[in-house]
Structure 1
């Protein structure tokens, strides 16, 4: 296997044997293909003999499809036929994994694992989706907005639902017009012989089939009217009796933002329709059940959810609001996911998310009545979150027990709940997170991705569904992203280390088995430089919590002993780990800074992912609080352990990192001499609802949170040198954000700042010229302010 791979992989090092050292911004920021293109989009053939993936070892304009045979190790370009069969195929299995159903390009396919044969079940212009098996082995799928049943023995397709746009009254009005028209037509025929004659000539066969047409007809399907609402969440019970669905009422009265685009082919400024801002009206949800047997429709009774009227703690800071909301005594709005039926169809559960983000309930559904009873409630006065929390990781292990994840212990772990006894059992525990969860086809084993050995290392494990010892399957230190083969005998591992980009490995699904490298993607030029393996350290912040960081020590410090802090974006994201960073340009730029005499630190500050509930929610109602003081405490650690001069410290970051950079320069001017703030949020009241309302609630309900979290209110504190960079067509953090802050700085009389604008860039820059210009400015900022 190794020999055949090695011969082929000569292609992966076919780039010119250039030397990348010394590093320059221009070399780092050019088209990133110069590093080599890592493999991606891994998917297994249904027979588990082949792994398909996208790759570009020859550095072409676009990635191409490749395949590797598991037994021979032969790697080659995927044939068009095989490549086509692998795209978008994700089978849902039944009968203990012997049969699978999947959608491909809008049609439904059936796969028999025993015969290794695939059968196409539909071939239509319309798209079929959401295919699955019923209890009797037949297939259900969605076409348009309706459900259909396919009998695999007779090939008969039967429509199950009849969703109709509009209201019942509109159909009745149309029927009235039809009745009136028919009456006039019949009256004309009875009055005039000439019309009778023409009708007979035009339809000589009329009357021949009258008796046949008088035979009993099937009862028409009940019309389920949608009104002006949108249909989603169609689910049918395993016995096909109950159809549940959800109607979404779009918000009214909200205002969408507009992003002007200045560099256009027309020569005119063109507007890009944008999102709404936090606090604008949001959609509301209603859930219903259609009982085919009784031909009746009824609501799911969300008013029965325990704690549905509970108010969040933060309203205590607003006595008038608290009193008003107590008087109203309204049910909170929820969004239901599911139902999730057990295999026999004897029980179903629903997941309810409170739209105020404070509660998540797992509920038992009585489908015959729409009644609900509580199984588990997760309440968080900050916001519900964490890996695997909610409907994403819920499923049945048998007829009475289902699994779910919860942060009840402070970390996201796996639990079993018994709907008959009400018993709940925690299967995993400890100060680590279950980040991904998968149940085996025979429902006897959980496969788990988690950071049990270290917050910055992910491994793949297996665990008996009843609990017990967690068995580690992967062994390579770093990041292990595993795609399990359909027969569950092989692991396709996307692996990387902190100074080595992602590569594909194959391994037998056994503890202690060796992972064999399949691809070798890094270019000779990339490999010509000795990329640093940063020190992965931890320190105690001022609140006594452990904070992890990467430190890039310099071997030749500048006489000023300067330091730079890199602040990762997204807020809830992990960048201090042993695998290849998604901030690859910044990783290389940090190497460049270290080459030029700077000590660099990259901190997983409070709210970063991977460290449990308390770390995740530590910025609730105060962004720029603990996440900012962690940067300050990290600098203190550099001063004490890396001999950094406290007078020569700068920082930079993009998006959330840009926000922290602004807050640092405005609120900690004695710590940070300069900073580069890229695509920064300057006022959280102008960001989107989904992200911001979790952390700060809504501006009109929690003004205090927004006022203490938004840089624009602290701009008067600027003392050091500030560089701001922003794309003008940023549809995420709008260019308006940085324009408003610029006006504020002008009005405050500040003159130690500059703004670089990028006319064609969205939030994530694309053009190498933009990346290069931006980072040349950042480098110049540090060279001129920290080495004075």
Structure 2
């Protein structure tokens, strides 16, 4: 009978309205009615103006805008004006010239005269413009190929030609070829002619700098992942990986509603542990001497250790005991741990000093336990270790910025070595020094001023949820607060270093652009892209609260949504706990939330008589390494403890009925909703899990292996962390909602869990599938249907429970 009542509620419950007349249907409509956040601001070449992007209403196209940094109204650039726009600029060391990329082509500007010249006009996009150390050449790349534009002659030429094949001239004849040459004089003459022409060509190439360079033959066993050219044009570093690897078996995403009318299958990403990242290697190319040296990694400290030895030995022993000897052999530790160098989003890369005399390389172990920064010794053609960051859990995918001070001999980098992201400097032959001592806050987005005197950073020094720009001397000294927003999203220095362009936001304010002096002072607001239909609503400002942990974690920061006046609140009222996604994400902050619609839904719930709590449970960003690492090998366990503490806090401080608390969230929040209902049955009256990972063994490698290792190596971590392993515990109503073409968390996760519930004869579980949605829902009808069901679930099983 309860199921029948719930279905009836789904069909007939009317959408409630806020005090301002806003309905659920309005909340879940296209967010264009709210306004648009300012995106990707950058300075004009002369530093007088700023460019930024705004999404158009009604479609995903981003328009480019232009505004005077001294104040004024932003102007949208039409196609004709776009032709005269600029891109984010780079400058030569003397600030004589600037360069930028516009519509994929390279442009050069003479700063004294303002003369602008288009350097390339090609169908393929160029990128990464940089000036040579002497300022005579503008360097840029096309894919992994680098070119140099000579400012004096106007000639563009490749700086190096990379051939991923064997040098045909260097191949030694085999036995049959030797026999042929021995037998036939004509073949010997032809070969001698070829050798003579090749020798002549080599001599001309060496003697005449006006010719294209000789190719580097790097063999067919590898392919380029990244290339980086030194500013002096002498050296190139090439990151390679094996050219031929088995991509492994990938799952398919089935599209049922298609333009063609036929069911279509899309190949999706691999499962974790089924196709580990390719090991990468590093080559050093001397472009002047035309020589190649491999840069070995076996001298990096700890590279031959096995940080997973205890887990490995236990798993191998279990496999051997079960008679799975081949699987046990496959888990043997490598003699030298493989690394990645160019790893998008998770640390890695190459940085040259301004003069091109030094290079720094950041490497990361594929097992996720170590990050190294090494310099390159060009005389001995070797890597020189400068810093090792080890984490017994996993190295963060954030806080991996690094670079050189202006002296070209001192490295700077971020590190969590102290437990918090801090900024360090290290001379090549000296000891590392923390520029900020004893800090228990996060430092990110470091930017070195043009004169090299200051670092500007984003930090949550005032409180974990309060972000502003700070600055400190590059040699060390006091950390000074520059902005006063408590909700800075990002910033960029002006070309002369005197001003900051600041993106800032607030809980009901999308990112806006302001300018202020780099030393501090009053900002000038340059944009207001919010719409009155949204700003006129009586939104509930979240209260930032500290929930005591009963498990030794200190306090858990949270946002509390409740009525403005709680003096007449009922003694026993319903509540909802919202669980943010991504795991490592911070939603308790004074910046705008990623969850704009969900925040409006929290308002709607309060109007209906609920109170709402949104917690930064353990594993969330913003609280240091130990908070992040707490979930290692046990996802869903410390977080659930924190959520239960949140529930207890609501009961104690806000008169919440412990039997009338609902829970919901999407992605990681959906995972936690399932873990809450399945690992703590009876604690929550109902839960709604949106696009939830139900079995971590079917999620992607980059995220999951960090926290749980590989499933073949650490099966117990996956068993402890996956909701499907606790399916037998379901007793509270659970609504699962999933996009059918989700290629991040596949819908098969939810469908497999649903089948487990069917086989276990469970009751009060439902699944709602959306044929045209991926992981991030895009269509207003689906958003509305999704939250209508959530609202009615809570109304039936939370609010009315016991009524």
Tell me how far 1:326 sits from its aligned partner.
11
Larger displacement relative to structure 2 (399-408 or 142-151):
142-151
Tell me how far 1:256 sits from its aligned partner.
1.3
Secondary structure of residue in 2 paired with 1:100? strand
Match of 2:41 in 1: 42
Tell me how far 1:434 sits from its aligned partner.
0.8
Residues 194-249 of structure 1 show CA distances to partners (whole Å, capped at 9, x for unaligned) of xxxxxxxxxxxxxxxx9xx9997325614323415321321233433322201122
Q: In 2, distance between residues paired with 1:258 and 1:266? A: 18
Q: In 2, distance between residues paired with 1:357 and 1:755? A: 36
Secondary structure of residue in 1 paired with 2:419? coil
Q: In 2, distance between residues paired with 1:563 and 1:495? A: 31
Are residues 464 and 170 of structure 1, via their aligned partners in 2, closer, same or farther at CA, if it must alter by over 3 Å? same
Please show how residues 318-467 of structure 1 align to structure 2 within 5 Å: 318-319=313-314, 321=316, 330-336=335-341, 337-385=348-396, 387-389=398-400, 392-427=401-436, 429-467=438-476
Are residues 38 and 295 of structure 1, via their aligned partners in 2, closer, same or farther at CA, if it must alter by over 3 Å? closer
Q: In 1, distance between residues paired with 2:55 and 2:350? A: 42
Q: In 2, distance between residues paired with 1:326 and 1:570? A: 29
Secondary structure of residue in 1 paired with 2:467? strand
Q: In 2, distance between residues paired with 1:85 and 1:540? A: 57
Whether 2:601 is the aligned partner of 1:608: answer no
1:507–1:515 CA contact under 8 A, matched in 2: yes
Larger displacement relative to structure 2 (220-229 or 631-640):
220-229
Q: In 2, distance between residues paired with 1:272 and 1:348? A: 41
Out of 83, 92, 95, the residue aligned to residue 94 of structure 1 is 92
1:396–1:402 CA contact under 8 A, matched in 2: yes
2:284–2:294 CA contact under 8 A, matched in 1: yes
Out of 468, 483, 486, the residue aligned to residue 477 of structure 2 is 468
Residues 166-214 of structure 1 show CA distances to partners (whole Å, capped at 9, x for unaligned) of 334699699999xx9xxx9x99xxxxxxxxxxxxxxxxxxxxxx9xx99
Q: In 2, distance between residues paired with 1:743 and 1:60? A: 38
Match of 1:778 in 2: 790
Are residues 325 and 268 of structure 1, via their aligned partners in 2, closer, same or farther at CA, if it must alter by over 3 Å? closer
Please show how residues 134-173 of structure 1 align to structure 2 within 5 Å: 134-137=132-135, 138-143=137-142, 145-168=144-167
Match of 2:70 in 1: 71
Residues 256-277 of structure 1 show CA distances to partners (whole Å, capped at 9, x for unaligned) of 1110100012211101110000
Tell me how far 1:708 sits from its aligned partner.
0.1
Match of 2:295 in 1: 300
Match of 2:217 in 1: 224
Tell me how far 1:20 sits from its aligned partner.
7.2
Match of 1:659 in 2: 671
2:507–2:593 CA contact under 8 A, matched in 1: yes
Secondary structure of residue in 1 paired with 2:623? coil
2:306–2:333 CA contact under 8 A, matched in 1: no
Tell me how far 1:95 sits from its aligned partner.
1.4
Tell me how far 1:127 sits from its aligned partner.
3.9
1:248–1:284 CA contact under 8 A, matched in 2: yes
Q: In 2, distance between residues paired with 1:290 and 1:70? A: 43
Out of 745, 752, 768, the residue aligned to residue 733 of structure 1 is 745
1:364–1:375 CA contact under 8 A, matched in 2: yes
Match of 2:547 in 1: 539
Q: In 1, distance between residues paired with 2:333 and 2:490? A: 49
**Residue segments in structure 2 that go unaligned for 5+ positions in a row:** 1-16, 188-196, 207-212, 318-327, 342-347
Q: In 2, distance between residues paired with 1:268 and 1:479? A: 47
Are residues 215 and 350 of structure 1, via their aligned partners in 2, closer, same or farther at CA, if it must alter by over 3 Å? closer
Secondary structure of residue in 2 paired with 1:387? coil
1:57–1:521 CA contact under 8 A, matched in 2: no
Tell me how far 1:404 sits from its aligned partner.
0.4
Tell me how far 1:566 sits from its aligned partner.
0.2
1:287–1:300 CA contact under 8 A, matched in 2: yes
Q: In 2, distance between residues paired with 1:501 and 1:338? A: 32
Residues 562-607 of structure 1 show CA distances to partners (whole Å, capped at 9, x for unaligned) of 1100000000000001122110000000000001010100000001
Are residues 338 and 658 of structure 1, via their aligned partners in 2, closer, same or farther at CA, if it must alter by over 3 Å? closer
Are residues 67 and 128 of structure 1, via their aligned partners in 2, closer, same or farther at CA, if it must alter by over 3 Å? closer
How does the TM-score come out when normalised to structure 2?
A: 0.86
Q: In 2, distance between residues paired with 1:626 and 1:20? A: 38
Match of 1:122 in 2: 120
Please show how residues 706-785 of structure 1 align to structure 2 within 5 Å: 706-785=718-797
Residues 17-59 of structure 1 show CA distances to partners (whole Å, capped at 9, x for unaligned) of x997244211210111122233323222111211222347988
Q: In 1, distance between residues paired with 2:428 and 2:648? A: 52
Match of 1:6 in 2: none
Q: In 1, distance between residues paired with 2:124 and 2:795? A: 60
Are residues 379 and 86 of structure 1, via their aligned partners in 2, closer, same or farther at CA, if it must alter by over 3 Å? farther
Match of 1:262 in 2: 256
1:725–1:757 CA contact under 8 A, matched in 2: yes
1:434–1:449 CA contact under 8 A, matched in 2: yes
Q: In 1, distance between residues paired with 2:632 and 2:689? A: 22
Match of 2:3 in 1: none
Are residues 425 and 774 of structure 1, via their aligned partners in 2, closer, same or farther at CA, if it must alter by over 3 Å? closer
Match of 1:27 in 2: 26
2:673–2:688 CA contact under 8 A, matched in 1: yes
Tell me how far 1:352 sits from its aligned partner.
1.5
Larger displacement relative to structure 2 (352-361 or 551-560):
551-560
Out of 251, 269, 272, the residue aligned to residue 266 of structure 2 is 272
1:537–1:551 CA contact under 8 A, matched in 2: yes
2:44–2:89 CA contact under 8 A, matched in 1: no
2:312–2:331 CA contact under 8 A, matched in 1: no
2:165–2:217 CA contact under 8 A, matched in 1: no
Q: In 2, distance between residues paired with 1:529 and 1:675? A: 28
Aligned residues: 739
**Residue segments in structure 1 that go unaligned for 5+ positions in a row:** 1-17, 188-209
Q: In 2, distance between residues paired with 1:126 and 1:560? A: 65
Tell me how far 1:614 sits from its aligned partner.
0.6
Match of 2:513 in 1: 504
Are residues 125 and 269 of structure 1, via their aligned partners in 2, closer, same or farther at CA, if it must alter by over 3 Å? closer
Whether 2:307 is the aligned partner of 1:312: answer yes
Are residues 472 and 80 of structure 1, via their aligned partners in 2, closer, same or farther at CA, if it must alter by over 3 Å? farther
Secondary structure of residue in 2 paired with 1:303? coil
Match of 2:51 in 1: 52
2:18–2:607 CA contact under 8 A, matched in 1: no
Q: In 1, distance between residues paired with 2:329 and 2:84? A: 59
How does the TM-score come out when normalised to structure 1?
A: 0.88
Residues 289-344 of structure 1 show CA distances to partners (whole Å, capped at 9, x for unaligned) of 12234332221011111111111246347436389799866100012355433233
Match of 2:525 in 1: 517
Q: In 2, distance between residues paired with 1:538 and 1:386? A: 27
Are residues 428 and 320 of structure 1, via their aligned partners in 2, closer, same or farther at CA, if it must alter by over 3 Å? same
2:315–2:714 CA contact under 8 A, matched in 1: no
Q: In 1, distance between residues paired with 2:487 and 2:235? A: 47
